[in-house]
Chain A
């Protein structure tokens, strides 16, 4: 078998060196009733060709987003990833390396993560960022738990503009970790006023920028209201490219930023692996979950990097850890960091402007289709349309015409019939004129 280097002769010689007659002797501690005599009931070994055919057949049954006009966002965005990114992350020294616990032989990973932490701090307008989390939704839940620790309070208020997956993940943690999460009603028209709900028991208010329905809002006043009451403002960002055009959470007064970095350097991947982002103020750094890389000197006085403030983490504090987290999303963070390195200031701001321009063109075009209205006053690259009939059915019919027409709100909010005519539509720099025309035409046909 191609991945197993030991030969029969090797095995025999090694058994002899160990002093046992057969491999079974090394499994003697297994209770007899639990020993499997033969092979488990699954197919036998296959060569590359056969495995490629089998999995290729599964892949072929999926409609590829890049092959058709595609307008789906809702927390996962299709951007163009430059060719260099995927080549560089597949270098074996990045792909197959371990967590950098031995810093002398992991300076590549550590320097990269230090650069990533800096990039994320700059993008979010915050003082310090960690070396990434599993994804945006779990980062959001961790942010709320951190706010609880910092304020020593247990009541979180979650905006109606926060992505439902993030709300649900936070609510699951609330139930089992032991805090309250108050979920405001879904807020497609960005009318909610959360400031009035803050009281002395509130640990944090969690909002999203731009909101899940696309709106862009200034949260500065809300930040002040939080701080007056001794609570923290958590701003979630799930379209990282928006940070190239929209005011940063830090500039709005956020205390913690939790977000999703998939838009940078990472493919859609049917939802995973993605890239959780986490940033905060320096004064809260010891309460921050996840890995942190810090700069230091080696014995020759040369600059180098190490994992630091590890005593917060599970392998040291055990039951008193800030979180049980063990891994970050290392390779996805590398991909995002390389993409940002290639873009630079000029490229990143241009990319954001391009996304906005595409979305504006698309929104104007679709709002002109009879029966369709645009819900948003403001948006970045994603907006909400109100259709004259349930959006789920419209999306199904458009899928049969090979157009991926966005996400019906009913997919994200199955229990909210009042939202069933709403459709979330995204555009990115990959959206073409032809795509937009095809969508508008098909939409008009389906609604007629």
Chain B
């Protein structure tokens, strides 16, 4: 299966007078339908990497190819359109829009994409996703009326609405208790298996990363280890790429 993410020599430097190197020549290839986690301590550069892959930020140096498209020369508007059409995001904070109902929050990526001709189909898909996420009963509620776990499940549902090629999740369980954390990962796994969606999950929690198929450990802006799950070495060790 082909690569849906090809990052070459990714460097990100913040600041002009006092420079901080968040990423230092990072290479990453992710195959289609992979279920991958990126782990590392706070400040290691993993969120920066996810922002670059999600076209929310631009690398100082290096190139990114997503689903076979070189996105380096994209304008701001082209990046926004690409995000909407090909990528799904799940953030640490659910980031739902309190002005809209649960179902409307799910429909938001379709509305942004302007797919007005298929709004009926989008509604049906939203309802199917809500059933999958066990949120069918709360579809018409305002997002503020939900529990933390429910909100994060709605955010997952929203990330899946436009049938993205890649779902990028940044500490998606960072604010959840153990039970909800388990539920979220089961959902990710189920969607991955049933729909074949590629998942890139950033987490600082090693036990969660161990539930994914491939683990990339980042330290000081560089890859520390990149292994299949069963070959994961103890933190600080180095292993061969898969």
Do these two chains really belong together in a complex?
A: no
Interface residues of B (CB under 8 A from A): none
